[in-house]
């Protein structure tokens, strides 16, 4: 038994940490996870590519109009608590848990959702617990005019936003091969996770460039963000792969504009027991990994919020990747399960 556990853990250790998010592991057997090593030539190519890209960014900055670079370098003010926080997709799941956690520590929060009814219900619930430090409005991130209205609402309510968290996302609550996916599901996933994210980043950056305090934008990743396959939710994985690239590109653009007080980060909540994840608990492998690795949204938020606030408090100008489910944590929990049966049937009954 011990040999089997160790062998299984060895296979699992080949996974990158970013793989351990949401649905990535749902279709994989706990005893068959592996990764072929990169060749030397591939590493050499990546090294050359990074060097070239760095030179390209430096050279390209010369073409940014002086007026834009100067405008982004206006007198800066320190960012001090309580922070003004905006979270998209924040009427349920991890978004709602994050909103509650920020309110617990005294921050001001703007929540939003596609559903006006859910927004109103969320505001009433949070105000009943935390008082008048929460605002909310309907916003469909897929629509540019909605996001612009969201910015206007936030500025009217709080004047500025220190922390903007792009949490809104969709997998259309569908786990099936791409060939069986409907047009409606594909459009919903791609427009929410990719187009919506781009629109939100654009409007958040424009707003924060005009703020003396600047601001921090956090893009939430998901299964597929590391480039690994996501069978049964290929469209979702493809959109989440683009999140990391978009974050890096936006940060490069901000550096070219000398906008050091506006920073874009990535946020990885890991596997969270939300409706988005639990609808995929239909296979033996999915149930295994959900029980072993997933955590309630409240637990994840309790870890993420202090780390997010620390970045704002420290005046950091460097992009950060905050991960809840670290490699060490995942390895220890999988080993405990394989060796001692820990967390069996914790959330779902396994076959």
The 10s digit of each residue's pLDDT in 280-303 is: 777 788 888 888 888 899 999 999
Query: What is the pLDDT, as a whole number, of residue 134?
Result: 98
Query: What is the pLDDT, as a whole number, of residue 174?
Result: 83
The structural domains of the chain, ordered by start, are 21-25+78-324 (3.40.50.720)
Query: What is the pLDDT, as a whole number, of residue 198?
Result: 99
Residue with more model confidence, 141 or 76: 141
- Has residue 4 got a pLDDT over 70? no
For residue 263, the SS3 value is: strand
Query: What is the pLDDT, as a whole number, of residue 43?
Result: 42
- Has residue 11 got a pLDDT over 70? no
User: How far does Cα 62 stand from its chain's mean position?
Assistant: 32
Catalytic residue numbers?
236
The 10s digit of each residue's pLDDT in 52-67 is: 344 444 334 444 444 4
Query: What is the pLDDT, as a whole number, of residue 50?
Result: 45
Task: Please enumerate in sequence order all residues whose Cβ is within 8 A of that of 85, keeping only pairs 6 or more positions apart, or say none.
Answer: 99, 102, 107, 108, 109, 110, 161, 162, 163, 164, 165
Query: What is the pLDDT, as a whole number, of residue 96?
Result: 98
The structure's pTM equals 0.79
Query: What is the pLDDT, as a whole number, of residue 16?
Result: 42
Q: Are 93 and 272 in contact (CB under 8 A)?
A: yes
The mean pLDDT of 257-272, rounded to a whole number, is 92
Q: What does pLDDT average to over the chain?
A: 82
Give the separation between CA 292 and CA 303, rounded to whole angstroms: 18
- How many percent of the chain have pLDDT more than 70? 78
The 10s digit of each residue's pLDDT in 187-220 is: 999 999 999 999 999 999 999 999 999 999 999 9
Give buried/exposed letters for 238-268 (b at 16+ CB in 10 A, else e).
Answer: bbbbbbbebbeebbbbbbbbebebbbbbbbb
Quickly state the pLDDT bin for 75 (edges 50, 70, 90): low
- Has residue 184 got a pLDDT over 60? yes
Query: What is the pLDDT, as a whole number, of residue 120?
Result: 98
């Amino acid at each position: 038994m011990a040999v089997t556990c160790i062998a299984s853990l060895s296979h699992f250790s080949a996974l990158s940490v970013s793989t351990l998010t949401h649905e990535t592991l749902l279709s994989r057997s706990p005893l068959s996870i592996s990764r072929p090593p990169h060749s030397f030539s591939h590493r050499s190519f990546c090294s050359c590519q990074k060097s070239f890209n760095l030179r390209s960014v430096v050279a390209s900055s010369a073409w940014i109009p002086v007026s834009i670079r100067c405008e982004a370098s206006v007198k800066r003010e320190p960012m001090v608590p309580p922070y003004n926080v905006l979270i998209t997709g924040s009427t349920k799941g991890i978004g709602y848990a994050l909103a509650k956690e920020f309110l617990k520590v005294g921050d001001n929060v703007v929540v939003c959702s596609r559903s006006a009814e859910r927004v109103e219900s969320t505001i009433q619930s949070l105000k009943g617990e935390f008082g008048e430090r929460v605002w909310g409005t309907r916003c469909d991130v897929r629509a540019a005019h909605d996001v612009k209205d969201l910015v206007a609402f936030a500025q009217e309510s709080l004047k500025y936003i220190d922390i903007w968290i792009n949490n809104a996302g969709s997998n259309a609550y569908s786990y099936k091969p791409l060939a069986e996916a409907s047009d409606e599901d594909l459009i919903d996933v791609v427009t929410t996770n990719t187009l919506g994210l781009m629109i939100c980043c654009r409007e958040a950056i424009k707003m924060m460039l005009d703020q003396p305090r600047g601001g921090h934008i956090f893009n939430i990743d998901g299964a597929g963000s590391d480039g690994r396959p996501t069978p049964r939710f290929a469209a979702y994985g493809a959109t989440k792969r683009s999140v990391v690239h978009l974050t890096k590109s936006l940060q490069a653009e901000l550096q070219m504009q000398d906008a050091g007080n506006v920073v874009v980060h990535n946020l990885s909540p890991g596997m969270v027991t939300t409706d988005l994840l639990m609808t995929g608990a239909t296979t033996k492998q999915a149930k295994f990994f959900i029980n072993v690795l997933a955590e309630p949204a409240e637990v994840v938020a309790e870890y993420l919020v202090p780390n997010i606030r620390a970045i704002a408090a420290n005046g950091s100008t460097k992009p950060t990747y905050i991960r809840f489910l670290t490699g060490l944590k995942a390895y220890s929990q999988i080993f405990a399960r394989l060796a001692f049966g820990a967390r069996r049937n914790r959330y779902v009954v396994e076959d």
